[in-house]
Structure 1
Amino acid sequence: MRNPLSKKITGIEPSGIRKFFDLVSEMPDAISLGVGEPDFDTPWRIREEGIYTLEQGKTFYTSNAGLKDLKIEISKYLERKIHVEYDPDHEIMVTVGGSEGIDVALRAMLDPGDEVLIPQPSYVSYVPCTILADGNPVVIPLQEKNEFKLTAEELEEAVTPKTKMLVMPFPNNPTGSIMTKEDLEPIAEVVKRHDLYVLSDEIYSELTYKTEHVSIASLPGMQERTLVINGFSKGFAMTGWRLGYICGPSVIIEQMLKIHQFAIMCAPTNSQYAAIEGLRHCEDEVQQMRNAYNQRRRYLVNEFAKMKLECFEPFGAFYIFPSIKEFGMTSEEFAMRFLEEEKVAVVPGSAFGESGEGFLRVSYAYSLEDLKEAIGRLGRFVERLRSQK
């Protein structure tokens, strides 16, 4: 029989995150610190609005680009938060999570052979989505000594005549690294000098702990060459509602909308109504969740210091990225042994690119009680490994 599968899809590796999620799901007594999902319930006002819209029979398709009222609220929210104005009618599209935004943006903008610069460690979908869009992913390895921030020198070195787009994955999954305005300004100058476009994934923008999030789109000359991706999964604890959005120049959004029309039709209707309520009335609940994450973050930073596990202090998202290089094993070997011997799941840094090798992603989107138990087991495991050297 003829091979039913494309070479392109069979050449893409499955997500390294899901591998450990699947393993721990078969261990009922295990603690998972592996999945990047808030442990909080979606705020009640959002859930109540979702229930109400179902009761009212608001279950029909919306316009392809999303409910007008939701796009207006997104516009107001972004003007408030990142100080950038977007036209709700032409510069905002509501998507099925931020992940769809990444996929559709790359497919709308890339021609075969166009290069996309992807700083790593970073979220697992940028490389495969670039390949699926017939682009060429070019990885920029980020350095621990720079707290895994992208520098202008690293960017300049990676640019070629074929480069079209730069992915900016900050606040960063898996490292928790953030980019300040001072960090972003030299990056923006390189982008403008080489006439590049930026895909700025800001899904963790609500979760920063040192300074307010700064979007590269807010810098002079950058809004017209930046697509901002965001959504409700992380900051609003709405992972299962599958709702995100992408904002950018109308000439790009218009073409993205065609792909969205044919592949998706529209984002879930009751999720859109619920998100309107969240943007209008749930800032206090978001702040409470952020405060809880910050408490957990500080706890883990202190515990890793006591354990003498090398780790820079992260100021974004809900991940911490300790080094395990001293133990002379790969991050996957370490994570597998830790799971087997202590029944705790973390994600090997190598799941996020080769530059993540030698590190672990530990999520603190879990209760303090679970974190304390897991860290106790990690301390025991680390002591055992050190005694065996």
Structure 2
Amino acid sequence: MKHTKRKLAGLALASSLILATAASAKIAVGDYVDLSGYVGASARYQKTDRDQGVADDDSAKLDLDAVKLSADIKYNALSAKVSAFMPGSTLDEFNSDDIFITEAYLSYDFGNGYTVSGGRFLSWIGYEAFDLDQQWSLESGLGDMSYLVPNFHNGVRVQYTSGKITLGAALLDSVYNGEDAYTGDADVRNGLGGEFMIRYQDEAFSFGTTLAVEKNTDADYSRYTADLWAQYYLANTKTTFGAEFIYGRWSFKNTPSDTVDYAVMVSARQPIMERLSVAGSVAFGKGESAGMTDMRYQKVAVAPTYVLSENLEARAEVSWTNYDRAYTSAKDRYFAGVQMVFKF
């Protein structure tokens, strides 16, 4: 699995509706600035069983997951957001303890539902939240194919909202950046990217779909991604159901066949009592790449969350991933972890 990734898509609505989820309490600084953020830390254990003749491996970690500080600025029709983000080794061992400016953009509200933004911002792709304080679990429910969900990139985007429907289009420096998941590639001479989004949001039912395309002239490839998610909130039981399908295709100029990856995830979250909720997910993923054995896997995860206070919550997760076929020798992966998140 590539670095754990989360995206903020439809979960903000669910978070506001489920009693077991405490809301972030922003800190007002004057009349125009709000500060918010979080600190998360966890203890994690994972074990991977491999094919006969290949040694199994396991790891145990206790470290920060991430630290984030955001400033939201609002003055009449003009708004801005700046966020500093530092991942820990449990979340991203390659960029551990490095500080990234993940968000830095200006927005202008033209009225009549039109908003234009420019700078660095989060991708529209993905159902699961990027930020720890809005997540349901410690790891992505999508499993290995969570790498199909990009994080941040640079560009200009336009959104139009009419009632419950939002349309969006973005021109980007890149959709993905393999070198750094927290920024775009900042290079427009090697090709551009684009995202196109439609979203419907209601108290009971919401859905969204995003199409993305990226052209890289240096590596001679085109990349296409389609993401579709839906969410339903059952008011009488306070249950939230979610589903996501994500599909990615790489077309290389000098390769006879494309690389195709996709995954399907179904999830649910149920409050058990005022402060306790339990989330669960089931996912299936498949990867096809020229000259390599296809990969297939199934993942099952259960994650309870206990809200200690408005600003502090504890979360745990156990999961099992079974590989029918894999690019590596992995057969089964077991994961367990506990996490504390302080948010403001």
TM-score computed with the length of structure 2 as normaliser: 0.26
Does 1 or 2 have the higher relative contact order (CA < 8 Å, sep 6+)?
1
**Higher relative strand content:** 2
Structure ID, larger Rg: 1
